[in-house]
Structure 1
């Protein structure tokens, strides 16, 4: 069914309203993908679609972009073929807000590449190269359900929200077979283990274990019902409409098996998941002597069993702390009894650390299963949780939105800025287009000095803070107000600050910023876990405590800043492709369309500027030599090779195939053509006909 235009470069009016109207027409007709040149716009249908089967794989494999209707497979195929032909790394950056469909898009891309890459995927033991290729494909596909179990959760806006970011590199042999891979993960929202908004769930694995474990497993791990656990019952949400925890648990176990995690290690992973729930049920009360006692010992026994630690040691480490005044000049140790609030904080810090380290172990296991000794060419898929604006936004939202701001900067750099700079370099005549460059917002957050950014001021406060909690947070707010109040993208209020992001204004609540940024796991807790009788748990906490750290401890924000900048430099070395995902409604129901929500996303994703740059410019560009090689067969003068100046050869080709002179310009080294479909479809057909 045709509705609206396939490529919004062809819209007769370029306004936000016209873009929204076009997307709406297509969405109502269940047409979910629309192009802006090579950029893919995808609208979440909130239902299973029938367009992702074998028929579509066949249809898009090896086809030119404009030959078929827009589809994620067209982009995936284009990436794969570019990598093989040009021998260049490719990446796809999938962006959009929470619940817009990024994770599903990433799955389709990885599934498609896994299907079409290399030779036939059936195992043939006479060709040894095919076995590792199939093994890598299995791992690529199975890593998704495993990481989703431990890293995804139901949020207010999305029933299966990725609460971590991942960059998945699939590595290929020169013949185009996947023969290795690597996952980089970042920003796991570990605070979700201990607290979350009403109506949300913790990570899926906790519900999977309770719903899916066998009677014997439940007895061994001391597992009862969902509402028994403090970490699960506080937000009042247990079941999710379109998620079957019992079935998913079996898939999680199967995925661990495929990845090569042995049965005893699988049992340990589940033991730790149960252990975290038991830790959460440890409560404290103040005794008459004003010291803290553990209220329920039954839970402690189970927790000691699941984590293999001594009961007295656990009680001691949760109710007292060895204090080192390392933040000052000298260092001395004293044992301090904790109050109830501090004991709860310590308990929660242990639970968060257990989950985060278990997650890292799983990522490492996947990487070990796919590792190879040298890298060749690869395709990277970036799936990171999107821009977040909640009623109350804390340190986690600040970090997530910073990374999204950095990704938007790449999009601007590579699609708008780079495009315009290339015209200047090549001497192409054209009219420059105004656009908002969000570098100013990135600098506001991450600048080191002159003027310092929010992260630098935050780290300074954390380095010198003796006060905990509110005191330090208020100091931070005062310093921000003093040092950056005049910045045009910054405002403050009595409980926090506001950043004018590319996606709109976000108000951050300062409460908890300093504690979360320090992100210190007390030495006592590391020692406690190292004393476990279980080797698996010792290995999760294997850091050396003797090594005195020189300088400042690493903070959460400095770690995220480094990860974001490393990610940017990795992406900048690849040929980028983009999928911009749009969430059509908040009801998560098919066919619901909220005009104002979609318009807001169209605005902040910069789709209008994107179309204008595409329209004013030349969508197709190729080096003279490559253009001649590809279409040499179309004329006898250029076949088998053109003798003479390459630029003249390209001109000869364009004239002989009757391309209007206002449709192209020749630069210094490249040919620029306005409408890619005027070349790709008819020329490719003619060329392939001649080849036959």
Structure 2
């Protein structure tokens, strides 16, 4: 609302009304949040909003209580300063609900383990418990807080809530014994009556609410939209979570029911003395409280008084009249309830309070300013505390802000506002002139033995002491105070009596005689000590608590929520213009807007500003070595902030617009994001390298001491996807949309006649795919070659894998129906990944057997049953396998490989260009990597020129020995100077390609080549098998093993 064109109360009210009617209940005045009670559940308090506002700048999203809470939480973490939020507004404006949303948001955005979660549970569960015992229906609010609560959530340095503390004050004890028309007693009574089990009701003597005097005075028992029975279960669950033992829970309910039964004891006048009207009504409250019925009767109708005569003191028993007996009964009921409430607060504190405090966020929820038809001592105390809170708001937003501009030498036009300190002094001053509370305490002290006439004496003394004060007026039955929220007339009757707040020693003795330890613990006073000095009065206690609260709040960085009640009907969309305008006036929203508009949105000490934004420039990070003011200027100029957007004070920098601050914050976030990505990248690279080496080690273990190794492949890097599936939609069509690819390669599959057929072997977390190609026999695509899913194997159906003990590339996949004989250069990698996936799915080890005689079952065809085939492996010359089929037996002859105990040799130096090693997934662009520098799971259309790769590569990483004549030729070329080259042959006109990997032809119609060899590309084919010409031979080769040049 700082941007309103007119700054008047009418314009503010109109703006609030428009937003309210459109279901926007939150508005900002600078950092102050204005909240209008919608009297219905709003849809924007879900996890989606939590995610939206977490970490976002305050003005990045629409106004919301989550934005203010997130701002508090982040400021606490960044600046290391305690935060607090002061929620103010009149009764029914929505303060308690706002406090719940704050605690709920903090619980969701802060992390933590089981211990932290336990603290969060207690913090959240404390709400229903304290509301049950501390809230009630009033004329203006169906769930009105009848006590003040300051809840501190304590945090570890990591931002996890690990403790808390509740300070309570101003419990409205008088509500226990009497309520105004259309109001209720505290919620717990109605919850107990509606929600207790049949057994509990019988044990506690629970009847209908109209049976109890303490509940039937107002004639109101139900509240629209409130389920007392369900709320009772929540209250009991809350006690359980907080850790109140079961036996104590039972006694809490006993005291609650005992107070109700105590209220039904009535008195009659008998010869100027009061006596119990019905003796029978003494038994049940005495039973519930664990005391003797006759003793209860005695203490309600008489009390001891100390009498001094001639230097001697003696105790005499004074019989009370009917009115005094009723007062004594009510005093006992109020004392029991107040002490029970204090116990519950203390139980919550014991469950979550930690010995030392690091950081905290405080939430102040206190009942708002009250103006009723009849305003008594309770309203006087409530309004005094609200007056003190208004003073804090003025001190820290209006007064302090303007004074700071003057101290810092900032150009500024002063703005007038009403400072309510004069009203606070009227109430709490001790001397010259004495305030209302001081006069009240003095009257109570001098007339302690004379109950009658004390209130009249108080009014006379107030007229004498403060009668001429501009904010005070008196009338025949009371006085008027001109509060910041308006004039309030207070009825003087009962002021002195309620201010004394003294419980007779007789009643303390009575409760200390209870058979229940818990009840005795609520009355710990030592009555044998000498009574010296004035007893503590209610007003002096409230004044002390209010000033302690103010001191606590002033030590924190404050935030403000100003709650507005739009109507008295408590219905959605009702808007009472005059009521809202009155609240806008006394909350000082117009002055607040003017100060924010003319002032600066942000101010910070030079050193704190430098500390926060030093990361933006290399000159200031990690430490600025010059004067702090110059460092701040350097930062502001580095982000090109206009000179009119900031002013430099003597110790602080002042930034005018929030947008300028957001610019700084956004740049800071970007810096952190960049550095975080660098750290993440390094960490992922490290983890990937570690995982990769572990995977190769595990793969090596599968064959260790069982199979000879090929010298060409033992040190090969694992690539995973050798087919480049990301760019092969014709193959990906057989996989689900986001199915991850662990392994993909073109293999040889042997049929029942041992004829070799090309198949694409794909391994995913879902199974094994074997894809072949067939010519379409009919239709519009007749004659075209199409990919066909030949077989899909589920892991649960795989019985095992068989291999020979020699260096060949054959293996048999055994499956329930029939087996598959396959040949792959990358069998070790495939087996390693298959073993892992198999174990993940079946929770058992894959059976891998080694033998030089492999038997496998072939697929049934026609009427003939499936039969077996045998592959026999023999020693022979050379490293290439020689195949000789004969009937149902295939003989494979191959030379000796490396010993079975051979292991791969790992290079610890990471490749220069390798950024991470992962298996391919459908989210990444994949390419087959070069043999020198693998990048697992990566397939890109463009790659760097070959000579650049060669320069940056660490070829030792491969550790593959040179082979054949080409290897000898390379050695000679390095060791001796070559002769002059012959005349170059004319370059062929057709396209050429360069090998990215070594490929050894598997059939007579295939060609072989080494890494970086250049040869002619004769023809490309969509199947992935291209035709090339090298060293005079033309044949097939896999297209993804080369790059075109």
Q: TM-score with structure 1 length normalisation?
A: 0.95
Does the Cα contact within 8 Å between 2:645 and 2:660 map onto a contact in 1?
no
Alpha-carbon distance in structure 2 between the residues aligned to 1:415 and 1:137: 32
Residue number in structure 2 paired with 1:518: 500
Q: Secondary structure at the match of 1:65?
A: coil
Shift of 1:180: 1.0
For residues 74 and 488 of structure 2, the distance between their equivalents in structure 1, rounded to whole angstroms, comes to 41
Give the match for residue 688 of structure 1. 669
Residues 576-625 of structure 1, C-alpha deviations (whole Å, 9 max, x = no match): 11111000100000000111111111111111111111111111112333
After superposition, residues 208-607 of structure 1 pair within 5 angstroms as 208-287=191-270, 289-324=271-306, 332-466=314-448, 468-607=450-589
Q: Is residue 519–residue 556 contact of structure 1 (8 Å, CA) maintained in 2?
A: yes
- Residue pair 1:101, 1:581 contacting (<8 A) in 2 also: yes
Superposed, 1:98-247 pairs within 5 Å as 98-119=91-112, 130-247=113-230
Instruction: Select the residue among 654, 658, 666 that pairs with 2:636.
Output: 654
Distance 1:456 1:40 in 2: 36
Matches within 5 A, 1:667-678: 667-678=649-660
Does residue 52 (structure 1) correspond to residue 35 (structure 2)? The answer is: no
Whose radius of gyration is greater, 1 or 2?
A: 2
In the alignment, is the contact (CA less than 8 A) between 1:276 and 1:354 conserved in 2?
yes
- Aligned-pair CA distance for 1:469: 4.4
SS in 2 for 1:147: helix
- The separation in 1 between residues aligned to 2:448 and 2:339, in whole angstroms, is 28
In 2: Cα distance, 1:647 partner to 1:16 partner: 40
> Alpha-carbon deviation of 1:332?
4.1
8 Å CA contact 1:183, 1:367 repeated in 2: yes
Retained in 1: the 8 A contact 2:90–2:369? yes
C-alpha change, 1:29 and 1:86, in structure 2 (3 Å) is same
1:42 aligned partner:
35
Match of 2:702 in 1: none
Could you report, residue by residue, the CA deviation over 1:446-473 in whole angstroms, capped at 9, with x for unpaired residues?
A: 0111100000000010001156444000
Cα deviation per residue 1:639-692 (whole Å; 9 max; x = unaligned)? 555553433343344344343322221112222111112321x33333333443
CA distance in 1, matches of 2:198, 2:240: 21
Superposed CA deviations along residues 52-104 of structure 1, whole A, max 9, x for unmatched, are: 11101111111111111111111111111111111111111110000000000
Task: Check whether the contact 1:156–1:199 (CA below 8 A) recurs between aligned residues.
Answer: yes
Aligned partners of 1:14 and 1:612 also within 8 Å: yes
Structure 1 residue 12: Cα displacement = 1.1
- Does the CA-based 8 Å contact 1:468-1:515 persist in structure 2? no
**In structure 2, the residue corresponding to 1:625 is in which secondary structure?**
helix
Query: What RMSD over aligned residues (CA atoms) do the two structures have, in Å?
Result: 1.7
Show the counterpart of 1:71: 64
Q: Greater shift after overlay, 335-344 or 662-671?
A: 662-671
The offset of 1:491, in angstroms, is: 0.3
Change (3 A) 1:250 1:347: same
Paired residues in the alignment total 672
CA contact (8 A) 1:62 1:77 kept: yes
Counterpart of 1:66 in 2: which secondary structure? coil
Q: Which runs of 5+ in 2 are unaligned?
A: 675-1045
User: 2 CA distance for matches of 1:319 and 1:578?
Assistant: 50
Kept after mapping to 2: 8 A contact 1:469/1:511: no
Could you tell me how far 1:635 is from its partner in structure 2? 4.9
The answer to whether the 8 Å contact 2:274/2:323 transfers is no
| Shift, 1:379, TM fit | 0.9
What is the alpha-carbon distance in structure 1 between the residues aligned to residue 300 and residue 536 of structure 2? 24
Corresponding residue of 1:609: 591
Give the secondary structure class of the aligned counterpart of 2:81: coil
- Please give the secondary structure, in 1, of the residue aligned with 2:316: strand
CA distance in 2, matches of 1:325, 1:115: 62
TM-score by length of structure 2 reads: 0.63
Q: Which moved more, 1:660-669 or 1:534-543?
A: 660-669
Aligned-partner Cα distance in 2 for 1:240–1:677: 47
Residues 632 and 553 of structure 1, relative CA distance in 2, 3 Å threshold: closer
Tell whether the 8 Å contact from 1:469 to 1:512 is kept in structure 2 after alignment: no
User: C-alpha displacement at 1:290, in angstroms?
Assistant: 4.4
Asked whether the equivalents of residues 387 and 424 of structure 2 are also in contact (C-alpha less than 8 Å), the reply is yes
CA distance in 2, matches of 1:291, 1:679: 75
1-structure distance, mates of 2:307, 2:591: 54
Q: Which runs of 5+ in 1 are unaligned?
A: 1-7, 120-129
Contact 1:93 1:382 in 2 (8 A): yes
Q: Quick one: distance in 1 between partners of 2:281 and 2:31?
A: 57
**8 Å contact from structure 1 (residues 133, 177) kept in 2:** yes
Q: Is 617-626 or 492-501 further displaced after alignment?
A: 617-626
| Separation in structure 2 between the aligned mates of residue 450 and residue 265 of structure 1, nearest angstrom | 50
Structure number with higher relative contact order (C-alpha < 8 Å, ≥ 6 residues apart): 1
Distance 1:17 1:147 in 2: 38
From the superposition, tell whether residues 329 and 366 of structure 1 become closer, same or farther in structure 2 (CA, over 3 Å): farther
Contact 1:470 1:512 in 2 (8 A): no
Residue 75 of structure 2 aligns to a residue whose secondary structure is helix
In structure 2, distance between residues paired with 1:133 and 1:266: 25
Residue in structure 1 matched with residue 871 of structure 2 by the alignment:
none
Distance 1:522 1:636, change over 3 A: closer
**For 1:200, what is the secondary structure of its paired residue?**
coil
- CA offsets, 1:295-330, max 9 Å, x none? 22332111111011101101111111112369x998
Q: Does structure 2 conserve the Cα–Cα contact (< 8 Å) formed by 1:470 and 1:511?
A: no
User: Per-residue deviation at 1:445?
Assistant: 0.4
1:13 offset after TM fit, Å?
Answer: 1.0
1:10 maps onto 2:3 in alignment? yes
What secondary structure is seen at the aligned counterpart in 2 of 1:668?
coil
Deviation digits for residues 353-377 of structure 1, max 9, x if unmatched? 1100100010011011112221211
**Residues 632, 464 of structure 1: alpha-carbon distance in 2 compared, 3 angstrom cutoff:** closer
4+ aligned runs moved over 6 Å, structure 1: none
1:61 aligns with 2:54: yes
Distance 1:640 1:286 in 2: 84
Q: Which has the higher helix share?
A: 1
| Mapped partners of 1:322, 1:640: distance in 2 | 75
Q: Give SS of 1:9's match.
A: coil
Displacement of 1:633: 4.8
